[in-house]
Structure 1
Amino acid sequence: MRINAVPFSASTAPSADSVENLEDFEERGGRSKNGHAIPENNSVHSYARNPFEEEKVSLSPKELYFEDMVVSEHEESRYDRDRCGIWCFKPDFLQRFKNMKSFLVVFIIVGICQGMFHSYWPMTLSSIEKRFQLSSQTTGILTTVNDVTHLSTVLFVAHFCGKGHRPRYMAIASMVVGISFLVFAMPEMVASKWREVISTALVANSSQTQGNTETCLSAEEAGWNNETTNCDANAHANRHDNFWPFFFLVLAQSLLGIGTTAPIVLAMPFIDDNVKIQNAPAYFSLGLAGRLLGPVFGVLLGGFCLDTYVDLTPQSISSTDPRWMGAWWLGFVIMGCLLCMAAMLYLCFPRSLSRQDAVRRERLRIQKKNESLSSDSGRTFKKKLGEGPKDVKRLLTNKIFVARLINDCIDMLVVSGYFSFAVKYIEFHFRLSAAAAGRTSGLSSILAMGLGVAVGGIVTRKLKLQPRQVALSLLASSMLTATCYFCLAMVTCEARNLVSHWDEQQMLRVDTQCSNRCHCERTPYSPVCHEELQFNYYSACHAGCSGFTSINETKYFTECRCLTANVSTLPSWGSSHPAPPVGLLYNTASPFQSLDQPTVKRGFCEEGCSAWWYYVIISACFKFLSMIPFAGSAMLSFRIVDPDLKALSKGMQTFCASLFAFIPGPIMMGMLIDSTCKLWNTDECGEKGACLVYDLDAFRLKMHLYIAVIKLVACFLDVFIYYNVRDMKFDRETDGEMVTQTVLTKNMGSVKDLTSLAVTS
């Protein structure tokens, strides 16, 4: 940031006791008290040689001498506070790191540790749903809890911390995020049902026990004669078992929302205040591109943890088995420990990264103190609080800012909903394990987004794009992204065949006439496959199997009475075609007619589907295109507001994005997904848990067309923004603050005008 030094005059002179030392100035032959040689020319200029070189200040000889006096003689302790280090430990060798390059490295390191959550959490959603029997709507609500707490603190942080010691606030907030990661792992430690989950898988190693629990049993063998179910007592026990896990998940999300406030609101304005205007896009792009490595490591960590069983012991079943439960909690422990250590690095940075900036602040402070004027740092809390509503009003009467605000909310509504459940969609629709789906979706998305940010930053800087070109790139990006979502809705795989029938409520029922004598009501979900016909059954019991055997460590069930020779058309898993008539789908004339040696194999039938490659490629393309305008968009957001409102404008954007996008987005998407569920996991009292079977055609269309339509709405707002910024130019005034050459008041208007445009569009 280029700073023009204030000329040395009576109004900027130091206090009286310091002025007498000026007499010694000439006696020392034009040298300062500390031995600084003062050039004879009028000023000393130093310019940055590359985009990442620290900026220097043009100072006159007397100003250099004044700097020595202020720092060395009068404000030694205050200047010491602007040195690199932690508390009293501020040695000279650390001062070489007092620059924006070092801050950017720390910003990226902390961002990597924190950003791992953004890919790890979606990867574990299906495991958490299965583990605690939650619906997609419930996990969507859990996802939004951090936005609620974020919403309640973001404006406070933006207003009161935006002009304070920002690196220190960022360090504290990052440590809070690290603690929240550790709290995420607590549900697994306190859940009373965790032994049941483990025993369900461990029992697969015992052929004797497993056969007795999954095969066709008589009423006496199933224990129905002696069963007296008390649903009220069981329901109370279930609520008690699930309360503490749910409580810790909510607590962790709350701490996460509080902790993520400061880095988001303070980091980018802090970078923007310490670099030149032409270098800002490079810093923004490198900062975000570097932090995108966090989700990359999150994907790798998620793949490792989900491929490890929940109790960290070896298992005979594979990760593609529906009964598999990955160690979803392990990654949170690792991320929490890493982030708490990395956050300490923020504490090493001072309030300002420029020594000349620190001198200038001290000079103004002394001047105002001597003149008995109130300084900015001396304002009372009450006065600051009173300025808050006025600053918010200034932002909300800026129609360009409001248009950008609504556009950002629409973008975040899409991002929060889609990315929360994208891994789950790939897992169910393309028949991949949770770990494989996460790696496939995560790595391709992150690489595409990182490349888009990097390319966008380079193009913005090299071509020196102005607001007009930036607005056009935002419009093109929105249109292309909407087109890609329409294309994704067309990519599909042939659905699995699940032996079932429809009831009056258009829900699947897996009970059949041939298995009515088997008493399968309490049999857990453990699909089996008839390899010859490529039909899947809910369990061996539902296939009417009464025997079992193992061949090469693979479980086979024998004497399956439901594998009849004459099978009518079966509804597919995920079929959205008209439902067949209510009733059984078998030849009821001879329901027990069997094939020779009828057997089924544990697990789903292995059916290949190469369409997921097309899905990954198309989704990577739209993520690349959507991130290209990022650097220019960030610059535009800062230039359309007054310089003193940059931090507050960022806080306002975050506030509205949380309220209108991040909170409703996952909930709305979860409701859409739950509306496509055709078979729920239920307990003995009929209480619904996690969804087992989705109508995948409805899942695919609802998810992608919903997002595509929303993105089309954003295109109209991009047109409005382009019309209002087409005459703007990026520039910096002499005081070093980011401004535009066009007077902002020319573009001020009422929110009512913007709302009318949105409605008519």
Structure 2
Amino acid sequence: MNEQTLFLVALSFVYFAKAFQGSYMKSSVTQIERRFDIPSTFIGVIDGSFEIGNLLVIAFVSYFGAKLHRPRLIGAGCLIMAVGSFCTALPHFFQGPYKYETTITQSSEKNLTHTMLPCQKSCEKAAGSSLWAYVFLGNMLRGIGETPVMPLGLSYLDDFSQEENTALYLACIQTVGIIGPMFGFLLGSFCARLYVDIGAVDLDVIAINHKDSRWVGAWWLGFLVTGAVMLLAGIPFWFLPKSLPKQESKNSKKAVNGTQGEQDFLPSLKRLFSDSVYILIICTSLVAVSGFIGMITFKPKFMEQTYGQSSSKAIFMIGIMNLPAVALGIITGGFVMKRFKLSILGAARVSVTTSLVSFCLLLTQYFLQCRNAQVAGLTVSYEGLPEVSYEPETLLAQCNTECSCSLKHWDPVCASNGITYANPCLAGCQTATGFGKDMVFHNCTCIGEVPILPTNMSATLGQCSRSEDCDKMFKFYMAISVLGAFVSACGATPGYIVLLRSISSDLKSLALGMQTLIVRTLGGIPPPIYFGALIDQACLKWGTKRCGGRGACRLYDTDAFRSRFLGLIYGLYALSYVLWALLYKRLVQRHKKKAAEPEAVNQEGNDDSSKNTQDETGQEPEKETNI
């Protein structure tokens, strides 16, 4: 294997590895939120730390990167990304065993009396410890390490490859990179089904399963895997030379590069941002990316809360269905561009059309709803009537007022009437039999409040399953989601072509760099935060830390969740289409202007030639022949 092939293979593997890492982080958001007992707003801050890391070094990499040993910088970036993954997993080894929220003492048979959990001064600090800072730092290190990969890798590749081969090499690299997210989400699904302390505790005494909102999967395990893969991916770059011989010299290309290097930065930046088309492209990309980042960050939680799916299944469905559809859509969009040889206006039309079709499909998701999970005192009354309440006092009823029940703790039980109660005490249960996941509660007085006959007065651990109609609705949702992902991805390549063909060749590198900087900063950091803040407002029941204090949300009002989550996405995407309309109008005006310029020049040339057909001697001058 020659050095050019080695670099191509190594860079492809790095693209796979960094996509593998990033998608696993997205798939682990829910598990991290539960493990550290933090709200969605805060998890949005942690998720945005990747882009913060990018910002810290992007200026250094952009200015000095090309002057230094580019392969070794990429290798160093891979090492930093690997360290970031390992750092993210560190809290698991410092925190000790996970103690989920419960008020139940395990025994084979007992009478139930309500007891508050023991409270110590240090327990609140232990439960809400600052070890999440390692996750924040690790994600930021990944952002720092990822910065040199794309600009330095692609410039190094372009320097040695033939001009006609560059597009093929890029396609190969991006195709391999597309596979990364699929593996990342599949790994996330696998780890979410494993208990967080697997191998360290007896799973028989764990009274919850992977469908419970208190369940925490082995989130840390995947970061060790992705870190090892990234560490392996960076090894070849330490053995590559600073530069490679060009496969075929292109003088014209060197001339362009030389001109670009001699330009002053500030005048070039002023020229770039004086271009209204570029400004509109930036704004359109920023708004669209904001909607996409917010959607992909909380999509597993949306599927879990709206359709009653487990976190692991939601992540698995995204990895096995949505992401392959995206990959196929990107390839299809590239094929359409090549097959029909579309101009910039044609590419814009394809991009706008696919975006609008996918938006219409996204709109239909709003109507694919399931009713709220039936939880007494939160989504239904103790008589079984629909009644959404955000007030904890509604958890009390005549059937449980004398039990001195805690209103804070979430320890759900499923009654024989199909209604979930927040804990056995609130269900009025008096005795229990069994052990672990097999515990059964008896003589539950509140169950008899629901006018459903015949029924018994028992309940089992865990939240009641959603109706079969909800499972059918989830299948419709997935079908529309996959189709929408494919159609939307078909417009990705044409949209990128619009950017490339709208900018002067001498400003292209600067334009791409500035677009990446702006979109990653404003489209990558704030959306997870304000999406999370909006989602938190739909929480009906917050978890409780070991000694008080609000933890992660256990139950959402699914109607409010859907309205806020999808409504914000709809608003951002609708704004992006308004900007697309303005951009397309400006592109048409520019196209007409350019088309009119040659005609004016030709007309002016004809007028001049008619006036000067003879020289001072009265003879027609000789014409030059260009071969």
State the TM-score bracket (shorter-chain normalisation).
0.7 to 0.9
Instruction: Give the structure with the larger helix fraction.
Output: 2
Aligned 1:257-406 pairs, distance under 5 A: 257-271=143-157, 282-313=168-199, 315-316=203-204, 317-355=208-246, 387-406=264-283
For the pair 1:605 / 2:474, whether they are aligned, the reply is: no
Distance in 1, matches of 2:301 and 2:341, equals: 41
Secondary structure of 2:296's match?
helix
Q: Which residue of 2 aligns with 1:676?
A: 538
Distance in 2, matches of 1:164 and 1:187, equals: 36
**Identity within the alignment, %:** 25
Choose from 326, 334, 337 the match for 1:460.
337
Q: Which residue of 1 aligns with 2:60?
A: 156
Distance in 2, matches of 1:622 and 1:707, equals: 14
For the pair 1:626 / 2:488, whether they are aligned, the reply is: yes
Offset at 1:536?
A: 0.7
Offset at 1:376?
A: 9.8
Name the amino acid aligned to 1:563. Answer: I
For the pair 1:167 / 2:39, whether they are aligned, the reply is: no
Are the aligned partners of 1:122 and 1:423 in contact in 2 as well (CA < 8 Å)? Answer: no
CA distance 1:346–1:614, change in 2 (3 Å): farther
Offset at 1:351?
A: 4.8
Secondary structure of 1:514's match?
coil
Secondary structure of 1:679's match?
strand
CA distance 1:724–1:165, change in 2 (3 Å): farther
Secondary structure of 1:489's match?
helix
Q: Which residue of 1 aligns with 2:327?
A: 450
For the pair 1:636 / 2:498, whether they are aligned, the reply is: yes
- What are the superposed Cα offsets for residues 205-263 of structure 1, whole Å, 9 maximum, x if unpaired? x534xx66xx7416xxx379xx8x67xx45xx534654441211121122122112222
Distance in 1, matches of 2:168 and 2:24, equals: 28
CA distance 1:689–1:113, change in 2 (3 Å): same
Secondary structure of 1:541's match?
coil
Offset at 1:165?
A: 4.3
Distance in 2, matches of 1:473 and 1:177, equals: 36
Offset at 1:623?
A: 1.5
Q: Which residue of 2 aligns with 1:75?
A: none
Offset at 1:303?
A: 1.9
Distance in 2, matches of 1:640 and 1:165, equals: 32
Please say which structure displays the higher CA radius of gyration: 1
Q: Which runs of 5+ in 2 are unaligned?
A: 380-386, 598-627
Offset at 1:639?
A: 3.4
Are the aligned partners of 2:87 and 2:137 in contact in 1 as well (CA < 8 Å)? Answer: yes
User: What TM-score do the two structures reach when normalised by structure 1?
Assistant: 0.69
CA distance 1:200–1:157, change in 2 (3 Å): same
Secondary structure of 2:447's match?
coil
- What are the superposed Cα offsets for residues 520-546 of structure 1, whole Å, 9 maximum, x if unpaired? 328842211112x21111121221112
Choose from 217, 226, 242 the match for 2:113.
217
Secondary structure of 1:548's match?
strand
Secondary structure of 2:432's match?
strand
Are the aligned partners of 1:98 and 1:349 in contact in 2 as well (CA < 8 Å)? Answer: no
Q: Which residue of 2 aligns with 1:474?
A: 351
Name the amino acid aligned to 2:193. Answer: D
Distance in 2, matches of 1:352 and 1:430, equals: 54
Choose from 35, 57, 60 the match for 1:131.
35
Distance in 1, matches of 2:315 and 2:484, equals: 18
Are the aligned partners of 1:127 and 1:326 in contact in 2 as well (CA < 8 Å)? Answer: yes
Q: Which residue of 1 aligns with 2:99?
A: 196
Offset at 1:605?
A: 2.1
Are the aligned partners of 1:281 and 1:632 in contact in 2 as well (CA < 8 Å)? Answer: no
Are the aligned partners of 2:429 and 2:445 in contact in 1 as well (CA < 8 Å)? Answer: yes
Distance in 2, matches of 1:667 and 1:301, equals: 25
Distance in 1, matches of 2:503 and 2:329, equals: 26
CA distance 1:553–1:602, change in 2 (3 Å): closer
Aligned 1:320-719 pairs, distance under 5 A: 320-355=211-246, 387-500=264-377, 506-508=390-392, 509-521=394-406, 524-531=409-416, 533-550=417-434, 554-567=438-451, 598-607=457-466, 608=468, 609-683=471-545, 687-719=549-581
Are the aligned partners of 2:378 and 2:390 in contact in 1 as well (CA < 8 Å)? Answer: no
Q: Which residue of 1 aligns with 2:50?
A: 146
Secondary structure of 1:98's match?
helix
- For structure 1, which segment, 679-688 or 536-545, has the greater mean C-alpha deviation from structure 2 after superposition? 679-688
Name the amino acid aligned to 2:459. Answer: V
Are the aligned partners of 1:284 and 1:631 in contact in 2 as well (CA < 8 Å)? Answer: no
Aligned pairs, how many? 576
- For structure 1, which segment, 466-475 or 557-566, has the greater mean C-alpha deviation from structure 2 after superposition? 557-566
- For structure 1, which segment, 624-633 or 488-497, has the greater mean C-alpha deviation from structure 2 after superposition? 624-633
Q: Which residue of 2 aligns with 1:571?
A: none
CA distance 1:649–1:612, change in 2 (3 Å): same
- For structure 1, which segment, 344-353 or 451-460, has the greater mean C-alpha deviation from structure 2 after superposition? 344-353
Are the aligned partners of 1:155 and 1:651 in contact in 2 as well (CA < 8 Å)? Answer: no
Distance in 1, matches of 2:177 and 2:158, equals: 17
- For structure 1, which segment, 147-156 or 273-282, has the greater mean C-alpha deviation from structure 2 after superposition? 273-282
Distance in 1, matches of 2:251 and 2:72, equals: 21
Distance in 1, matches of 2:227 and 2:436, equals: 42
CA distance 1:178–1:556, change in 2 (3 Å): same
Name the amino acid aligned to 1:334. Answer: V
Are the aligned partners of 1:159 and 1:388 in contact in 2 as well (CA < 8 Å)? Answer: no
For the pair 1:117 / 2:117, whether they are aligned, the reply is: no
Output the aligned Cα RMSD.
3.5
CA distance 1:281–1:634, change in 2 (3 Å): farther
Are the aligned partners of 2:395 and 2:407 in contact in 1 as well (CA < 8 Å)? Answer: no
Q: Which runs of 5+ in 1 are unaligned?
A: 1-93, 365-374, 569-593, 730-739, 744-761
- For structure 1, which segment, 621-630 or 693-702, has the greater mean C-alpha deviation from structure 2 after superposition? 621-630
Distance in 2, matches of 1:635 and 1:270, equals: 21
Distance in 1, matches of 2:512 and 2:152, equals: 8
Are the aligned partners of 2:413 and 2:424 in contact in 1 as well (CA < 8 Å)? Answer: yes
Are the aligned partners of 1:191 and 1:241 in contact in 2 as well (CA < 8 Å)? Answer: no
Choose from 122, 133, 151 the match for 1:247.
133
Offset at 1:473?
A: 1.4
Offset at 1:353?
A: 4.9
- What are the superposed Cα offsets for residues 541-569 of structure 1, whole Å, 9 maximum, x if unpaired? 2211121223997321112122225559x
Secondary structure of 1:542's match?
coil
CA distance 1:620–1:180, change in 2 (3 Å): same
Name the amino acid aligned to 1:457. Answer: G
Q: Which residue of 1 aligns with 2:604?
A: none
